Every structure is written in structure tokens, then in C-alpha cells.
Structure 1
Amino acid sequence: MSRVAEDRGRTAGARAGAAAPRRRGRPRSAAADSAIVEAVLRLIEDGVPIAELSMERIAREAGVGKATLYRRWPGKSALLLDVMRSQDTPPPPLDGDSVREDLVRLLEFLRHRGLAKRSSAVLRTVVSHVQAQPELWAEYHETVVRARHEALLGVLRRGVASGEIRADQDLDTVADLFVGPMLARAILHEWKELPEGLAEDIVDTVLEGVRPRPATRPANGPMDGPMDGPATGTAPGAE
């Protein structure tokens, strides 16, 4: 083999070695992930503000090294987002037969979340620190809240199509009218009860306000239906 051929062979071998994939490190430990998430939840439930949740404190509470946290998450915000995801459950399946019943299912889902102490603790903490953590709130909204909002909007669009909701309504506003009272009790007024039947009460009240209005008679228009007596002339029995 010529010297040129040998050089080409060595160069090709070096390139192949450089292109070879690097060996992956040890797989993540599910037990460590769970311990870290549980540690954050305990701290939040104990009333520790997000601003005081340092990676060092979380690692100490979880019984792991700080390097273990940083191998999994680049910072506290990414970790908190995963903690919130761990507490999230998808919206319930909807039958699609009754707009009212599907709305009740979605609000009942929120009521049960409000009754769950951990979910409420996480949500209250995030809302109270939204101004200090706007990027965290934006990510939470995109990854958690949006799916629920879209499910609710889907039901409302069906209501418009079926004639149960007026077509001139802004559906984002209508969605807020359904969800707002439940979230206000679950987050802002936690001393208020979330009794059974609350979802039905909210749905029926809002639907009453957004359902199509019956046709009304113009001010100077003809009356609908039969008249009680002759419009003009002699009254009956006066002849």
C-alpha cells in the first residue's frame, strides 16, 4: 500500500471515530426523580415560598446531591414545572352527547382538584408568585392549562352549533365564566367549601345567561297568537 493510501486510511478511521456516537451515561433513576418531586411537594405544603426554594434546599430535603438535580434539570424553574406536571391529570373523557353534562364533568374535575390538598397547594403557590416567576407561569399555562381550556372551548363550540349557546358570545369569556367561580373558591377563597352540586349550579347559571333568547315582538308590530277579543267594534255581548 502506498503512503498516500495509508494516510487516507488513517484519516478515514479518525473521521469514523469522531462520528461514532458517545456512550450514554447511567440512566436516570426513577426513585431519585420521585424523591426529588416529593421533596418539593413537601416544602411547598409546608409553606415555603418559591423564592426560597433553592436547589441546595431541595437536594437536602430529597437526600440527594445537588449534582443529581442539575443532571436532570437546568434550574429551579424547569424542576418546578415537572413537579406541577406530576400533579396534573388530563381532563376527563367527554361523551359528546350533552353540552351541559360535559360542562359539568369538566367543572367537577376542577372541584376534585381543588379538594386535593397537594394540587391546591401547588396552584396557590404558583399563582401567588406569578409576578415574580412570569416564565414559569407561561410554561405552566402552555403545558397544563391550555389542554383544559381547549377541551372546554370544544364543548362550548358544540353548544353554539347545537343552538344551546348564542353565536354572538365570545367563547373565551364564556369559558372564564364557567371556570372562574370554581377556581376562585379553590385558590383565592380556600376557606369556602366546594360542595357536591357546585359544578351543576355554576353550569346551569351560566348556561341560563348565554342561551339564545326567545324572539320578542317589535314595539309596534303585530301581536303573536290569537287575540282575546275583537280589536275594534262593539264588545261581545253589547249588541
Structure 2
Amino acid sequence: MRQAAQNPAQDPGQDPAGGPPCQEPRRGRPRSAAAERAILDAVLELLESGETLDGLSIERVARTAGVGKATIYRRWSGKEELFLDVLRDIEPDEPTVSGTAGLDDLRVLLESMRTRGLAQRSSTLLHNVFVQMKKHPRLWTEYQSTVIAPRRDAMLAAVRRAVDAGELRDDLDVELMDDLFLGPMLVRTVHRPDAPLPEDLADRIIRTLLQGLAPHSANPQVTALKPTTAPV
């Protein structure tokens, strides 16, 4: 719609009807992306001050962020869902893979696991967030299904591409191969927090599995594990 032409003699701040000058509209509360950023930052601020997930309230988050509670509830159904997004926000970004390569994409995904492990070790906040989340089964289950499961699916897809490309054997259980690649990095980053995470760890895992664990002079079929008879 075209705007009506302004009377040149009229003061820009004066009401068109000749009344007192118009008041500038008050700046409202942050909206959209700005509001979301303020809310996430507010949760982080409260967590850094020692607040726990159990002690966290939507009202306090809203007050800290400078937004109304309704603004939060329009985006999240409750504090657990909000907490999950906070965790996603402070974790390193998901890696970009080609989607066409096999071992190369697998290497990228393993390296991403290593950097996340380093981030969790160096960030007291990130470590505490994980500890608190594990105390809430529903939240932990949601994190597993929405964050961990897609990462595992991406690795499994990379292993399948490696099989299709002839980089890995096609006569083995694909999921077992995926677990063999994933396991060492998972142990180092999660179950052994004191274990070293060198920059070449992803390459070493892949190389070790490709070369095999049996001595070079041994015949894998001969040295394969055989069932043992339990003592009577």
C-alpha cells in the first residue's frame, strides 16, 4: 500500500490530527532468533552459576533472558527439552561428510568423536551437563534417539559405502564392523577419561583394523579362536 504524502509543514513527530507529538514505539522483547539465543544463554549462565537441572525453573530462565515465559513455551514444551537444546548448542558442530565416500567419511566421523571428547574434558560446564542429563532417564533417552542414533546411522552408512567401494570386505556383518571402528574411540572418549586422544587416533584405529590384529606370519583361519571345553 502506498503511504499518504506527508504535509511538508507538519512536524514529523506531530500527530496528524494536530495532537501532541507521537511517542516512539517502545522497543519490545527480543523475538525469533534473538529471543532463542537469549534463552539458551540464560540457561548457560544459570548452569555456570551452579544451578542444577532439578533446580532450574522456566520462570527464572525467562527472567534471566529478559523474555516472558510464553516466549519459552512457544519453543519448548518444558525445561528438559530446553536443556537438550542447550546441550546441542554447546557441543561442537556436527561434521560435514561427502555422503559418497567410505573410509574417508568414516575418518571424518571418528575425528568428530575425538574432538567432542576433548571438548567434554576441557569444559567443566559440558561435563556437568552430561552428568546431570544422565540422572534423567527420559532426557537421556531423548538425547540418545535424537543425537546419538543419527551419528551412529551416519557411521553405519559410511561403513556400507566402504564395503560397496571395495575398501572393506563384503562377507562380514556390517554392524559388527561399524562397532569395531566405533568401539575404540568410544572407550577412549567416554569410558577412559584419562586416556590420550592424539590427533592421529582416527587414522590409527582405521589402519589397525584394516591390517588386522593377528601376527603377519599367522594364518587367521588357523589362529582363530576355538571353543574350549569347560573343566568338569
C-alpha distance in structure 1 between counterparts of 2:49 and 2:184, whole Å: 26
Counterpart residue type for residue 92 of structure 1: T
| Structure 1 or 2: more helix by fraction | 1
Counterpart residue type for residue 68 of structure 1: T
Which residue of the other structure, out of 115, 119, 123, is the alignment partner of 1:112? 115
Are 1:94 and 2:101 an aligned pair? no
Q: 1:215 to 1:161 in 2, by over 3 A?
A: farther
Per chain length, whose mean CA-contact separation is higher, i.e. which structure has more relative contact order (CA < 8 Å, sep 6+)?
1
C-alpha distance in structure 2 between counterparts of 1:121 and 1:177, whole Å: 30
State the shift of 1:209 in Å. 3.9
Equivalent residue for 2:144?
141
C-alpha distance in structure 2 between counterparts of 1:72 and 1:118, whole Å: 30
Equivalent residue for 1:160?
163
C-alpha distance in structure 1 between counterparts of 2:90 and 2:48, whole Å: 13
TM-score of the aligned structures, taking structure 2 as reference length: 0.62
C-alpha distance in structure 2 between counterparts of 1:59 and 1:192, whole Å: 40
C-alpha distance in structure 1 between counterparts of 2:132 and 2:146, whole Å: 18
- Residues 122-152 of structure 1: CA deviation (Å, up to 9, x unaligned): 7644643455322222322332223221221
For the residue of structure 2 that corresponds to 1:50, the secondary structure is: coil
Q: Which has the larger radius of gyration?
A: 1
C-alpha distance in structure 2 between counterparts of 1:48 and 1:182, whole Å: 31
1:7-22 to structure 2, matched below 5 A, reads: none
State the shift of 1:75 in Å. 0.8
Give the percent of matched residue pairs that are identical in Structure 1 and Structure 2.
Answer: 48
**Residue ranges of structure 1 left out of the alignment (5+ in a row):** 1-25, 220-239
Are 1:196 and 2:171 an aligned pair? no
- Residues 65-99 of structure 1: CA deviation (Å, up to 9, x unaligned): 444323432211121222234346333223744x3
Q: 1:215 to 1:181 in 2, by over 3 A?
A: closer
Counterpart residue type for residue 83 of structure 1: V
State the shift of 1:181 in Å. 3.3
C-alpha distance in structure 1 between counterparts of 2:187 and 2:159, whole Å: 21
